[in-house]
Amino acid sequence: MQESNSNSKTNSSDIIRQWVTLAAVILAFVINVLSNIFPLNGLTIGGVSNTLFKDVLIVPANYAFAIWGLIYIGLFAFAIYQVLPSQRENPNLRKTGYLLAIASVAQCVWVYLFLSRYFAASVIAMLWILIPLIMMYLRLGVGTLPASRGERWFIRYPIGVYLGWISVATIVNVASALYINDWNGFGISPENWTTIMIIIATFIATLSLTQRQDFTYSGVTVWALIAIAVKQWQNSNLKIVALAGVCILVAVGLFSKSRQSTLRS
């Protein structure tokens, strides 16, 4: 009898987690759409970026933000997959708990803060998106633990893409908040700071390849670096640094892929 009650409570908590996660993803999507149709203060997120932050060198070209379409396809795939009855007791989904729901709600808060011009506060909200995603990534054991094809496509790949973009977005968000508050960069020029940030982003993405063979996270970083190079095409130094980062990641990715093939054979 006690075991039956315990199983009932477990199933109930799993069901709640499943539906809360689905609802949070839907909410984040709706808020994102509404922020473009009915933007606060008359400017969309892209509009704010193109006006107030047009001189922030780390901001990628506008087309790069089209990746949100892919991100939401992945998030809906994740949300629908995890809500299936067959996934109710999936141990990997249990390990991630409410982390995606937290990140999704934080994204809604970020949209409000950013469009309301509370840029410093928006950095805090961005970190509340980033940290749960990092925790999910680590708990899922991406690249270190085996996973079924379904889990790769509907759990790991969506989180890898989302985390990859949010990692880049966090750098851009911090740079924008510092810019709007007239930070002097400790005497280091904006171009040199941008170079440092590109190197850091490239290094982290390289680790995702060498340590976890994760081509989704690194692929998103390549996408962002190309967009930065396009935006800064007239700035030969930044263009070269960004494209060098792309070349490094492509080379490391090809090496990791060939190494995987060798080990399997």
**What is the per-residue pLDDT across 180-224, written as a single tens digit (0 to 9) for each?**
999 999 999 999 999 999 999 999 999 999 999 999 999 999 999
**H or E element: which one contains 211?**
helix 190-212
pLDDT tier, 259 (very low <50, low <70, confident <90, very high otherwise): confident
Q: Give the pLDDT score at 135.
A: 98
Q: Give the pLDDT score at 189.
A: 95
Q: Give the pLDDT score at 8.
A: 55
pLDDT at 97 over 70: yes
Round to whole Å and give the CA distance between 130 and 15: 25
The C-alpha angle with vertex 187 and arms to 186 and 189, in degrees rounded to 5, equals 110
Q: Give the pLDDT score at 258.
A: 80
Q: What's the average model confidence in pLDDT over 63-89? A: 97
pLDDT tier, 20 (very low <50, low <70, confident <90, very high otherwise): very high
Instruction: Name the percent of the chain lying above pLDDT 90.
Output: 90
pLDDT at 5 over 80: no
pLDDT at 4 over 60: no
Round to whole Å and give the CA distance between 97 and 101: 9
DSSP letter string, 78-141:
HHHHHHSGGGTT-HHHHHHTTHHHHHHHHHHHHHHHHHTT-HHHHHHHHHHHHHHHHHHHHHHT
Look up the domain containing 15 and give its range.
Answer: 2-264
Q: Give the pLDDT score at 261.
A: 64
Q: Give the pLDDT score at 257.
A: 83
> What's the N-to-C CA distance of the chain in angstroms?
51
pLDDT, mean over the chain: 94
Q: CA 109 → CA 26, 42, 64, 137, 188, distances in Å?
A: 14, 18, 22, 22, 32
Number of domains in the chain: 1
Round to whole Å and give the CA distance between 217 and 211: 12
The C-alpha angle with vertex 170 and arms to 118 and 54, in degrees rounded to 5, equals 65
Q: Give the pLDDT score at 11.
A: 86
